[in-house]
A and B are shown apart, each in its own frame.
Chain A
């Protein structure tokens, strides 16, 4: 169980430029659930994700994973439990390192990094078979630098990397936003498949409203730092895209 308790976050506190990005947000995410967060720009959804990741510190409130309070842990400390996919595939992979080296780092995300050499024949085989599920033919390119791969390939790889080691929470920050439609589709389907196969608890921030029509467990809509809609999609009466667009047309929504 992932818990956010009374999280508030403001920028430029006490100045005329004060922005309240999150206003007393409390959420519980069930273990093994795929949660979608939507909202217009400035609604606070990215701040929410950053606070879960540890990249931003809330002004008040607590973040708990399996009842353990992580509020005071930095990004690299939380990496024991939390993995993250970035919007920009360039950010999410180390481009000067080879594919294999990137996966080595991914394989020890939750552990300390020591002086041992981690890349051997056995490890090559594991990575090779692991990335074969992408069916992109990358198995023969293990020793190429990450910069040699396309955005779609890098995003797919970063998804495999994030879920290579054990994790309690997968954060996805608009993972398909920087990709062409075909790659975006591929990456979303892959995301969904991995989340279901590994029974991961995941929170995805997205601008692509088509994602709301996919089989997700929960949709949270944010506006002006508050949760204004929190629904469990009904499988017997599937959502339509125009319903979802309608959510953004309501009078109360400000941009």
Chain B
């Protein structure tokens, strides 16, 4: 049981990243590869802060600022220099690797001795329960803020720019600036996840972000197939669905590990899992067309 609870804890720690991907993918239609870099960036900043005796709230805030800047960089390269969004993301991700390495000074920083988020707050005696509750508290507050933001005027404007850029401009929305801000917010959420995961697992590693964007994309898509079962699709429901998507995804991985799959194959399983979720709606549509 605790094996699956651990999977849920990790899924919750990664949910902010899922929301970040939801923003970039579903609002702007950009699979934002900056994610791999900004996730590690969040972990790196947090690890350096904590191991130098800094406090966890400051570590989290600085991580989010770092992610915000990384997203802004991608956004500016994409909108100002007219570089394809995928390529802009790859460029920033690649550069972020060097930045992360120079922030960390080495490829791995252990955090077992530091006073992190989970050691500082003690609500339950049971360690795992304590972790889960802290994660739920953080997530629900971020989720409430994000839900409010997306329903506010500026959030509406942001959501309009993705599907109707020309109409948005004619409605007085600075489309380019919206994209930059949106990608910055998305990556600051991703960096938040990086920070939380580093504190949760007790270390930051330079390679921890490799392929994490695929996890986010998968979680969003799994979430969408859950949403499709409901007639009403509010923003709150969509955000909830991403949480469920993250949990389902981590559960699949936990299950594969439990059933004795070689851990070296985890990334392949992750990719296959996403492929299945991308392919299902298309294959389903095809069979309808043939009928």
Contact = CB atoms under 8 A, between A and B. Distances in A.
A75 B167 contact: no
A105 B156 contact: yes
Given A92-B170, A108-B172, 9 more contacts: A76-B168, A91-B164, A92-B166, A92-B167, A95-B164, A96-B159, A96-B163, A105-B160, A117-B148
Contacts, number: 100
Contact of A105 (B149, B162, B173): B173
B230 to A, nearest CB: 14
A114 B152 contact: yes
A104 B153 contact: yes
A101 B156 contact: yes
B171 A79 contact: yes
A145 to B, nearest CB: 8
B172 A115 contact: no
Interface residues of A, number: 38
Interface string A104-128: 1110111101111111000000000
B163 A94 contact: yes
Interface string B9-53: 000000000000000000000000000000000000000000000
B112 interface: no
B174 interface: yes
Contact of B154 (A96, A110, A115): A115
Which residue, of A75, A93, A106, A109, has the highest number of chain B Cβ atoms within 10 A?
A: A75
B167 A93 contact: yes
15 contacts: A53-B170, A96-B159, A96-B160, A96-B162, A97-B156, A97-B160, A104-B153, A105-B153, A109-B172, A113-B153, A115-B149, A115-B152, A117-B153, A158-B167, A161-B171
B157 interface: yes
A116 B155 CA distance: 10
Given A114-B154, A117-B148, A83 B159 contact: no
A97 B172 CA distance: 17
Nearest to B164: A94
Which residue, of B156, B159, B168, has the highest number of chain A Cβ atoms within 10 A?
A: B156
Contact of B172 (A53, A80, A95, A101): A80
A158 B174 CA distance: 19
Interface of A: 53, 55, 74-77, 79-80, 82-84, 86, 91-97, 101-102, 104-106, 108-111, 113-119, 158, 161-162
B151 interface: yes
A94 B169 contact: no
A76 B172 contact: yes
Contacts of B152: 114-118
Contacts of B151: 117, 119
Contact of B159 (A53, A97, A118, A119): A97
A86 B153 contact: no
Contact of A79 (B148, B149, B169): B169
